[in-house]
Amino acid sequence: MIRFEQATKYARTKGIKKPIIEDASLILTRGKSVGLLGRNGAGKSTLLRLIAGAIKLDSGRIVRRGRISWPLGFQGSFQGSMTGEQNVRFVARIYGVNTEQLIAYVEEFADLGAFFKAPVGTYSSGMKARLAFGLSMGVNFDYYLVDEITAVGDTNFKKKCQAVFDTRLQESDVIMVSHSTGTIRDYCDCGVVLEKGKLTYYEDVEDAIRVHDRNMKDS
């Protein structure tokens, strides 16, 4: 369960304060995967990071019950001076999972070769994405937060990513941001529309998509 209680977060640019979410109260229950819809720049990625606990609210609170992943499309949490292996070791300690098992899983899954023991700061964006995805799949979460990316790399690697992700979602839920409504339909049961700082929940994802499409036409 994830519960928003009068949650407020503002973005500040050049002295202008813009609401990402404003006085939002909402409950997301286990057993349902959520599609997060909104205009470009509405703050969907920021909302995922708020849910993950990576950034703080300005007021109110978000109550989390269950283990929640970091956003799968977000790679900025890696420490660039540490190797891929060291980053995995650090995450294992934070989440209380078997360190050696997680290292072995991510090393095999990400298939980075010698770069696994090189500083992440030397990685290409694609290599960071492979490390991030492998690390996310190596830890069992109740909720997976997905920011546009569900698979990375060449065709074979994408197939491997898709297969393990689908397996994880048999027991876990997803909160997903995607510009593709087809992808939202494939993975999500219900939807939340973010519009001008307001969060509105729809039990049927098709209702959320209709409202989002209407908002886009009215812009």
Q: Over 60: is that where the pLDDT of 151 sits?
A: no
Rounded to an integer, the average pLDDT of 52-72 is 93
DSSP state of 143: E
Name the residue type at position 102.
L
Helical H runs in 96-145?
Answer: 99-110, 125-138
What domains lie within the chain, and their CATH numbers?
A: 2-69+176-218 (3.40.50.300), 84-141+153-174 (no CATH)
Using DSSP bridges, classify how beta strands 190-195 and 59-64 pair: parallel, antiparallel or unpaired: unpaired
pLDDT band per the 50, 70, 90 thresholds, residue 75: low
Angstrom distance (rounded) from CA 104 to CA 204: 40
Residue pair 25/183 in contact by the 8 Å Cβ criterion: no
| Range of lowest pLDDT (26-30, 74-78, 129-133, 197-201) | 74-78
Angstrom distance (rounded) from CA 42 to CA 18: 10
CB atoms inside a 10 Å sphere around CB 128: 21
Per-residue pLDDT at 29? 94
Per-residue pLDDT at 219? 64
Per-residue pLDDT at 67? 92
Helical H runs in the chain?
Answer: 44-52, 84-95, 99-110, 125-138, 155-168, 181-187, 205-218
Query: For the segment 127-146, what is each residue's pLDDT rounded down to a tens digit?
Result: 888 898 889 889 999 999 98
